[in-house]
Amino acid sequence: MNNFDPDALECLAAIMEEGGFERAAQRLSITQSAVSQRLRALEAQVGTVLVVRSRPLKVTAAGQLLLKHTKQLRLLRADLEKDLRELAPSSTGHGREEERVSVAINADSIATWALPALQPLALQGLPIEIITDDQDFTHEWLREGQVLGCVTSLNQALRGCRMEALGLMDYVAVAHRHYAHEHLPNGLSAHSFSKTPFIAFNRKDDMQREFVAQAFGLKRVMLKQLFVPSSEAQVRAVRAGWGVSVVPKLLVQPLLDVGELVNVAPHHQQAVALCWHCWNLESEVLDALSHTIKQEAGRCLRAS
């Protein structure tokens, strides 16, 4: 097997993670020409193109394999750093910025329970990078080798990975009490939803449509949607009277308790089953990450 230059591998990772050669050069503190040279040398060693020079840049299948290999090397270094800290507490114990340990987590989990799960490892100095995406798409980051683990709604283990069920996240449809009083005095119904603005996360977010379809037994629904790409900001938009949003109950329960927000569809709540997927590797860091995520999810999510 070829011995790949670790600097060249990190160069490839930086190009894809930063989205370009210039920003990769800035991150690695080298010239843009040096970035190009390292990539060309790596492509020559592999014997194929690794990055398609398009807008945006695209990684090839071979490039994805090397990206996954690079992430695995980072995990090995993180394990080594952890062991060294235990043997020599006075050592710095902090990996280089480009050696981040990446996980993909859906925005609603980040806004509710996931950060407390990661806090112990972050305080220990683990260089964590959280990549956010919809829970139906976070597993693609793992499949492509760009993260070592993900929280996703996918309930089938990916090849080379292990999977653990985390629990159910409940979603409710909420509006500000004044908005509900004026526009939805009888709550959300099969007759009123089409006239109601719904605040969705982004165009990939099907939660609003799925909630309405299941609540009223419809096969297909069309909604008036506004897009606000932040779970917390969706709630702020609801509080400002923009319309209705289907959001995690965990996120809005305090506002429901004090009556600022109203559950406009109290007869229905949507449950999304979440799972943790990670590479099937022997790693103290990965085991610790899996343990703390499962522990916090068990505390906050509803048992499935």
Q: Is residue 296 part of a domain?
A: no
Report the amino acid identity of residue 50. Answer: L
Query: String of b and e for 134-155 (b: at least 16 CB within 10 Å)?
Result: bbbebbbbbbbbbbbbbbbbbe
pLDDT score recorded for residue 98: 52
Instruction: Give the end of a domain, one of 50, 80, 110.
Output: 80
Contacts with 213 (C-beta within 8 Å, 6 or more apart), sequence order: 219, 220, 221
Q: Is residue 89 part of a domain?
A: no
Mean pLDDT per 10-residue run, the chain (304 residues)?
A: 82 89 91 91 88 86 87 80 62 53 93 95 88 88 85 89 95 98 95 94 93 93 94 98 97 98 96 94 87 96 91
Q: Is residue 127 part of a domain?
A: no
Q: Is residue 208 part of a domain?
A: yes
Q: Is residue 286 part of a domain?
A: no
pLDDT score recorded for residue 220: 86
Residue whose C-alpha is closest to residue 172's, from 114, 105, 257: 257
Domain with 4, as residue range(s), is 1-80
Rounded Cα gap, residues 221 and 147, in angstroms = 34
Q: What's the total number of domains in the chain? A: 2
Q: Is residue 278 part of a domain?
A: no
Instruction: Give the end of a domain, one of 33, 50, 80.
Output: 80
Q: Is residue 227 part of a domain?
A: yes
Q: What is the CA radius of gyration of the chain?
A: 22
Instruction: Give the end of a domain, one of 30, 64, 80.
Output: 80
**Are the C-beta atoms of residues 114 and 121 closer than 8 Å to each other?**
no
pTM recorded for the entire structure: 0.74
pLDDT score recorded for residue 153: 92
Contacts with 3 (C-beta within 8 Å, 6 or more apart), sequence order: none
pLDDT score recorded for residue 142: 86
CATH of the domain at 252: 3.40.190.10
Contacts with 229 (C-beta within 8 Å, 6 or more apart), sequence order: 107, 201, 202
pLDDT score recorded for residue 86: 64
Residue 38: DSSP 8-state: H
CATH of the domain at 76: 1.10.10.10
Cα dihedral 293, 294, 296, 298 in deg (nearest 10): 160
Q: Is residue 259 part of a domain?
A: yes
